[in-house]
Chains A and B, each alone.
Chain A
């Protein structure tokens, strides 16, 4: 059967057909849909774990029980999971264990760009890289086989344009019967006391040597002969760009990028006049091939940072003289000077109100320039986190001073406080990220006697990655009702005495809570609660602006709500975007009471 699948959907279906029993993940772009798709199969256990480290530990435990298991995550997720990843590389597996890392070249939706191929080399585990959805479907099955045959976790690495691109897949397998769960006690394999880990260490090297031999005949390391004298080594989506740009070249396409098939590469190199490597991000293949003593070109011309594309590869090819520049075709760049349209907080977003309050309480519109800079320390420092609310960095809200990684804001806040800054410090964190890695920060803040403020933005979902459930929602990844971890007793249990819960859509209450927490001499936690507006099932009472009452003061525009628009000096609310009764923030702010439900005249309200 032919299906049009994203790489993520193909990985999930492929894993299901390969007999997977347990899948665990924490949402992260571009990896989230792998677990979302697996969760639709009710005969396996698919879970959202609290974070990637736990996800990999769950998968590892399942593997020890002899069943096939997988943990999937975005590139920075593997940083969080790197501890069990390295340990798993040492213990090896019983049931096949696959770790999927979805990298984000070009930083579409991450805090940094990193090439996770290095993890395969560091852990000395095999790595597979599909070049389209068909290969994602095929390779994931081989990854499980490989894992069991070589007693190793397998890293399957994708990138945004593999995970989030759709292509045609021949679905030609049905589900393999999962192995029965059976744990065989084996302390030398599973208990990594130094004395046991030392015994396993040489086995890792032996495994790698065997894998090198295996790589030579791995069917997805393929040579495609072209007519020209140019030979290209490539993998993943970079291979697709290269095929597009070099129609006549010969290709060695690698489906397994660690360890490399040295003999095959030598053969290929000697069969072409000029050898080049086309790869995204770091010169991973190139440096490994250079280390074999083979002359090869690549990163001298292909950018090391950012996403590749057919035009980036083409430009490099012209510059390097690999191709003669084409004369036909249109060569114009994007138009300059257009108004940008960056992502923004949605109309009715439960984060808008609290960041508006942080902006005004901290007088940040006066303090910060367009770039969000100021020489002088303002009256409020806001340490941030990863989520939709990171968008509150932009004008007009401008209420975020740091963002590093999940959970970091709470530790950073304590660091700023202990360093002796004069301004009060407020850490903001989402509900899902709080459960991911914020709890330990709060424990640390209590223990080390912080006087700061922590605001938990509880919108009841993992919004930015597509509204996944989390331990606080009371619903599992597979839609079952489960116990919800409640934030207030959790925070109180850690030892925070000043805990308040505030309605995210009540500006006065938000202002009072924020001011109170900042003034308080002890550590305060404010939980700002309000549902994500994208999940609203029905909308009513869309607001409109009465032009007779509006004096164009622009206070409502300071919310940064995309529904409130101004064109040719006319201020209006786009009714197709307004969240209406669920929000009402602009109505609360309007000093002229010019904002009211569209079907109701403002007079009736007054």
Chain B
């Protein structure tokens, strides 16, 4: 049984904790041992969020060691860069093409890095980089908040777990009336991974 260590990062309010919960539940249902832990700032919204999810035959620490994550899933580009040092050599980076300037940038105290800087940093770390248009697609589907299911769809593309199990676990966590929209986002994420240039 191959181990996978995931670092999922973004901004409070993007639904990262729910996505990482579902990922953990899917993996458990598929027979993996699972540990996951989220680091949140003090408040509910707006701060940098990182979620560690580890699946494998037997998992000890819930925290992943820097430089050893197999898959980095970034819901926002600056956050991708912030946590890039967790990626293992030749690990896979899935980066959502969303720019959300933090307060210090809006106030003119600091500068948001350019797309080239971000990409070049990742190119030095790995060849496996997927830049995907999750936020754009989520808004097209009808609600920016389904981004987390889009990102789960992307992750599912890389794992040897069949899509049916993902949908089953999702249905247990998402209210029925918004389930369809979320499953659409999941499908779109899966599709985009198959087509995006890396």
Contact = CB atoms under 8 A, between A and B. Distances in A.
B43 A388 contact: yes
A165 B61 CA distance: 10
Contacts of B82: 334-335, 338, 341
A91 to B, nearest CB: 37
Given A310-B61, A334-B82, A557-B106, A343 B41 contact: yes
Most A CB within 10 A of own CB, among B25, B44, B67, B88 = B44
Interface string A557-579: 10010101111000000101100
Interface in A222-248: 237, 240-241, 243-244
A466 B36 CA distance: 20
Contact of B61 (A244, A567, A577): A244
Nearest to A338: B82
Nearest to A339: B110
Nearest to A106: B39
Contacts of A309: 61, 63, 65
Contacts of B68: 329
B144 interface: yes
Interface in B1-54: 11-13, 21, 24-25, 28, 33-48
Contact of B78 (A2, A132, A333, A338): A338
Contacts, number: 177
B107 A557 contact: yes
B88 A330 contact: yes
A346 B35 contact: no
A335 B121 contact: yes
B66 A311 contact: yes
Contacts of A311: 65-66
A388 B44 contact: yes
A344 B103 CA distance: 8
Contact of B47 (A240, A343, A574): A343
Contacts of B35: 132, 165-167
B161 interface: no
A330 B63 contact: no
Interface string A335-365: 1001111111111000000000000000000
B82 to A, nearest CB: 5
Interface stretch (A67-75, A389-397, A486-494, A596-604): A389-397
A4 interface: yes
Interface stretch (B94-102, B176-184, B188-196): B94-102
Interface in A382-419: 388, 390-391, 394-396
A338 B11 contact: no
Nearest to A463: B44
Contacts of B103: 342, 344, 394, 396, 560, 562
Interface string A526-548: 00000000100000000000000
A473 B161 CA distance: 45
A334 B125 CA distance: 13
Nearest to B82: A338
A562 B65 contact: no
A290 interface: no
A311 B67 CA distance: 10
Contact of A339 (B11, B38, B84, B104): B104
Contacts of A335: 81-82, 84-85, 121
Contacts of A481: none
Nearest to B90: A330
Given A341-B11, A346-B44, A108 B39 contact: yes
Contacts of B106: 557, 564-567
B108 interface: yes
A221 B46 CA distance: 42
Interface in A107-163: 108-109, 132, 161
B36 to A, nearest CB: 5
Given A132-B35, A166-B34, A396-B107, A339 B42 contact: no
Interface string A516-531: 0000000000000000
Interface string A580-591: 000000000000
Contacts of A341: 11, 46-48, 78-79, 82, 102
B107 A395 contact: yes
Contact-residue size bin, chain A (C-beta under 8 Å from the other chain): 35 or more
B41 A574 contact: no
Contact of A344 (B25, B28, B43): B43
B25 A4 contact: yes
B42 A390 contact: yes
A299 interface: no
Contacts of A244: 60-61, 65
Contacts of B66: 311, 332-333
Contacts of B83: 334
B37 A166 contact: yes
Contacts of A396: 103, 107
Given A339-B78, A395-B107, A464 B61 contact: no
Contacts of B109: 339
A314 B144 contact: no
Contact of B112 (A4, A334, A339, A557): A339
B158 interface: no
Given A343-B42, A562-B45, A332 B85 contact: yes
A436 interface: no
A347 B46 CA distance: 9
B63 A161 contact: yes
Nearest to B99: A567
A254 B196 CA distance: 50
Nearest to A30: B40
A191 interface: no
A164 interface: yes
A168 B105 CA distance: 41
A331 interface: yes
Nearest to A396: B107
Contacts of B42: 29, 108-109, 343, 388, 390-391, 464
A205 B67 CA distance: 50
B62 interface: yes
Contacts of B89: 329-330
A388 B121 CA distance: 35
A449 B40 CA distance: 42
Interface string B108-133: 11111100000001000100000000
A205 B169 CA distance: 52
A341 B43 CA distance: 12
A200 B21 CA distance: 48
B150 to A, nearest CB: 14
A388 B88 CA distance: 36
Given A168-B34, A310-B65, A339-B111, 6 more contacts: A109-B40, A167-B36, A310-B63, A335-B84, A335-B85, A341-B78
19 contacts: A4-B36, A132-B35, A164-B37, A167-B59, A168-B34, A310-B61, A310-B64, A311-B65, A329-B88, A330-B67, A333-B85, A335-B81, A340-B102, A341-B47, A341-B102, A343-B12, A346-B43, A534-B45, A567-B105
What are the 10 A-B residue pairs with the smallest beta carbon separation, nearest first? A343-B41, A343-B47, A330-B67, A339-B110, A165-B37, A343-B43, A165-B62, A341-B102, A243-B60, A346-B45
Interface of B: 11-13, 21, 24-25, 28, 33-48, 59-68, 78-79, 81-85, 88-89, 99-113, 121, 125, 139, 144
